[in-house]
Structure 1
Amino acid sequence: MEPYTQQVITVIQEIPAGAVATYGQIARLAGNPRAARQVARILHSMSRKYDLPWQRVVNAKGEIVIGDPEAAHTQASLLSEEGVEVSGKGKVNLSKYQWNAEDHNQDWLEG
């Protein structure tokens, strides 16, 4: 596995319940701020294998962007179960729920 892919997986695994992160935020924390689309591909292809909390990842506007309506509903339901409020339009208030990784111990980024 490529080091960047491993970093992305590690970052996603660190998103705590009750919080969300954006694709771009994950890309930045993993070391490549311009790779948000690559984060989306990694999330899509490796969520099951690595049991990633995929529901905690939204776009830069706080929106659920999964094209499949059933999967989008599942994501909103899982977030709600974790205490994250999701609007009827599938949007999360980032100022309230966005994960502030800088407030957490980031030894995982250096390992």
Structure 2
Amino acid sequence: MKPEAHSFFDKVYEVAKKIPYGRVTSYGAIANYLGAVRSARMVGYAMNGSHNKDVPAHRVVNRKGLLTGKHHFDGTNLMQQLLESEGITVINNQIQDFEKVFWEPSKELESTK
């Protein structure tokens, strides 16, 4: 992995660690906050590599609230179970009331990228 990618991943992890319990954000929202507007996929790669880093990757979903990263979690429904344990309702791999539980880092965090 290139040093720049490692640094970007570390920034992604820092943002993800700030997602409050019971809230979710999207890959794109994190990318946008970091000033990398077209890098949602790279945020996804970072989430895939976040195991054993104390990062709540289950709180990062796609822009429509779909659990697109669920196959990277151990077990069949671990991502859904983790979200539901935080009070988030998931039906057919999609977060219900997505707008209510969505956390926008660009609005919630200072611009201290």
Q: TM-score range by the shorter chain?
A: 0.7 to 0.9
Does 1:4 pair with 2:8?
yes
Aligned to 1:18: 22
* Structure 1 pair 94–11 and aligned structure 2 pair: CA distance change class (3 A): same
| Aligned equivalent of 1:29 | 33
2:61 — aligned with what? 58
CA contact (8 A) 2:15 2:105 kept: no
Tell me the CA shift for residue 32 of structure 1. 0.4
* Residue among 33, 37, 44 paired with 2:48: 44
Residue 110 of structure 1 is aligned with which of 82, 87, 112? 112
More helix per residue: 1 or 2?
1
Most deviating of 65-74 and 6-15: 65-74
1:33 is displaced (CA, Å) by 1.0
CA distance in 2 between partners of 1:18 and 1:67 (Å): 17
RMSD across aligned positions (CA) = 2.1
Unaligned runs of 5+ in 1: none
| Structure 1 residues 9 and 67: CA distance shift in structure 2, 3 A | closer
Aligned residues: 107
Look up the SS of the partner of 1:110 in the other structure.
coil
Amino acid in structure 2 at the alignment position of 1:5? F
The one-letter code matched in structure 1 to 2:62 is N
Alpha carbons of structure 1 residues 98 and 76: separation in structure 2 relative to 1, 3 Å = same
Structure 1 match to 2:87: 83
Counterpart Cα distance in 2 of 1:102 and 1:37: 18
Query: Shift of residue 29 of structure 1?
Result: 1.1
Taking a change above 3 Å as real, the CA distance of residues 50 and 61 of structure 1, as seen in their structure-2 partners, is same
